[in-house]
Homo-oligomer: A and B are copies of this chain.
């Protein structure tokens, strides 16, 4: 097989037409027809021609690529490799993008170090993150989806790239897909209450994460309304944190009979910690997670959880970007529903 890559010039020559006509046919644009179309198609087939996307992008000024920016934090490589959230975003967008002939470019920015690397240094971390965000925004083309991001970074991104949509709540003008995190957490606590639980602890995500903040708010609101005490710890949105927090919580107050855990990964850790302490889930301690990610069904018992429709949100974000520049402050809301499995139990 020859390594020769035919250009549209070659196609045009082979078909005996001009470059413009060949382009029209290849792009299925109107204004060329009948015999010429056939000749061009034949030439394309014969030469094995494929348009060069890069040239096409440059010439048309609108490259067909959506940038997905995952702002990660946490130990090691960040969440990208372990937290199911990101794959769900990708999986949700992929079919939409592919259907539109758009590419998906993935970027990761570590909130702490700028680059999506393994570094843990804090020296100039914020500036590095900001610089990385600028860099990506400057080259974002069809648009960008901020998979997880802090409001300041989101605002900064929007300044360079209007065609942006955030997957997490940001207070700013950044268009976003917004799940009812507050309501979900609120509903989880109420469900636990309904099951007869009265000492409902919470394991939250990191305090700078917008989703974590909302879920915490929902928990607090519910607990306050129900006249219950507040017991909570920060589990950092990773399993290890969930384990450690559950332990701490149980040590502090052995009477805890339920836990609302702000993500399934942490909930998996919490279930392990509860079990390790000699308690049973759900008989002794009822657990409700959040996300309905793959982690929820891997635990034993499987997790009752609040389903975050990540795939749907991601698909909607992709569609929004494909359509054009979303209006500043645009919001699309998604419900967060209870999915009952075994970890919450059946009540007394």
Q: A78 to chain B: which residues have CB within 8 Å? A: 91
- Chain B proximity of A245: nearest CB distance (Å): 16
CB pair A239–B297 under 8 Å, yes or no, is: yes
How many interface residues does A have (CB within 8 Å)? 60
- A residues 291-311 near B (Cβ < 8 Å) are 294-295, 297-300, 302, 311
CB pair A95–B81 under 8 Å, yes or no, is: no
Instruction: Check if A63 is an interface residue, CB within 8 A of chain B.
Output: yes
A103 (CB) vs chain B CBs: closest residue = B105
Instruction: Check if A57 is an interface residue, CB within 8 A of chain B.
Output: yes
Instruction: Check if A29 is an interface residue, CB within 8 A of chain B.
Output: no
Instruction: Check if A94 is an interface residue, CB within 8 A of chain B.
Output: yes
Q: What's the Cα separation between A87 and B82 when bound, in Å? A: 7
Q: What's the Cα separation between A138 and B56 when bound, in Å? A: 14
- Chain B proximity of A159: nearest CB distance (Å): 6
Query: Which of these binds chain B: A8-16, A114-122, A197-205, A251-259?
Result: A114-122
Among candidates B58, B108, B272, residue contacting A98 with C-beta atoms closer than 8 Å: B108
User: Mask for A117-135, Cβ within 8 A of B = 1, else 0?
Assistant: 1100000000000000011
Instruction: Check if A153 is an interface residue, CB within 8 A of chain B.
Output: no
- A residues 93-120 near B (Cβ < 8 Å) are 94-95, 98-99, 103-108, 115-118
Residues of A within 8 A of B (CB): 1, 3, 5, 50, 52-55, 57-58, 63, 65, 77-78, 80-84, 86-88, 90-92, 94-95, 98-99, 103-108, 115-118, 134-135, 138-139, 141, 159, 162, 239, 265, 268, 271-272, 275, 294-295, 297-300, 302, 311
A-B interface, 10 closest residue pairs, ranked by CB to CB distance from nearest: A81-B91, A300-B300, A50-B138, A268-B298, A95-B117, A80-B91, A298-B298, A87-B87, A82-B294, A104-B106
30 intermolecular pairs with C-beta atoms under 8 Å apart = A5-B138, A52-B58, A54-B139, A55-B58, A77-B92, A77-B95, A77-B311, A78-B91, A80-B90, A80-B91, A81-B88, A81-B91, A81-B311, A82-B87, A82-B91, A83-B87, A86-B87, A90-B106, A94-B116, A95-B115, A99-B115, A103-B105, A104-B105, A105-B105, A106-B106, A271-B300, A272-B300, A295-B295, A298-B299, A300-B300
